[in-house]
Amino acid sequence: MEIPEFVETLDQEGRSLAAAAEQAGPDVKVATCPGWQVRDLVRHTGMVHRWATAFVAEGYPTYHPDGGLPELDGAELLAWFRDGHRRLVDTLAAAPPDLSCWSFLPAPSPLAFWARRQAHETTMHRVDAQSALGETPDTVTRGFAVDGIHELLRGFHGRPRSQVRSRTPRVLRVRATDADAVWTVRLSPEPPVSEWGVAAGGDVDCELAGPAARLYLALWNRLPFPDLTGDASLAALWREKSGITWG
């Protein structure tokens, strides 16, 4: 996907998040984020939007702390969220292709990183906001879902801080049934190593398969896995250890 596509997705998903949050109300529990109410979700996502905007707008070359969570609530909180979301979208859309700033996952450029990361961040939290309504979340395009799986497996869980580990070597395959997309995740006491496009033939201990959009949400622990074959303990390991924490 190209940068303008990520920015457009970010724009649409932020609007949908705000609409779902407004409909649900600030006190409603977020089913996909245990311990959170809608206000917590909106505060967190709005804080992340402002944090990301600062890197792109100011060109910070190293890590810069976020501004913290606001004390706002209700209509004031939603207005704050919408303002920060709008500024992030506009800042990314206006940024030069040769933007230089800090980023934390592999990407073709810092601008590509921030556009991609914020599109996926906002999409996942839009799903959370819709879960507060008790609704089946809106789906995403197949291409965007494949990209999100790739970012999660090869990006987040390619880092030393990933806790998805096994005492003995194990192999987990992730396969999108509606796309030419297969990932082989090799688990050991070290951080996982994910290989893209490895042939579906090879020995694996467990396979998680399904349409890309379902897999995307399942791997981010928002939905059950569509189809599981082999050792279910690896799916349980993923559920327990794959969470991405803030900070």
Spell out the residues 6+ positions from residue 235 whose beta carbon is closer than 8 angstroms to its own: 206, 208, 225, 228
Each residue of 205-233: pLDDT tens digit? 999 999 999 999 999 999 999 999 999 99
Q: Return the residue matching tokens 């700033």.
A: 101
Average pLDDT, integer, range 39-68:
97
Annotate 62-96 with DSSP letters as a single string.
Answer: S-----------HHHHHHHHHHHHHHHHHHHHHS-
Query: Strand pairing of 227-230 and 181-187?
Result: unpaired
Average pLDDT, integer, range 109-132:
98
Percent of the chain with pLDDT over 70: 97
Question: Which domains occur in the chain, in start order?
Answer: 3-131 (1.20.120.450), 142-241 (3.30.1050.10)
* Confidence tier at 199 by pLDDT (50, 70, 90): low
Q: How far apart are CA 8 and CA 14, in angstroms?
A: 10
Each residue of 142-161: pLDDT tens digit? 999 999 999 999 999 999 99
Is 208 within 8 Å of 239 (Cβ atoms)? no
The 3 state secondary structure assigned to 179-227 is: CCEEEEEEECCCCCEEEECCCCCCCCCEEEEECHHHHHHHHCCCCCCCE
Query: Strand pairing of 170-176 and 206-210?
Result: parallel
pTM of the model: 0.95
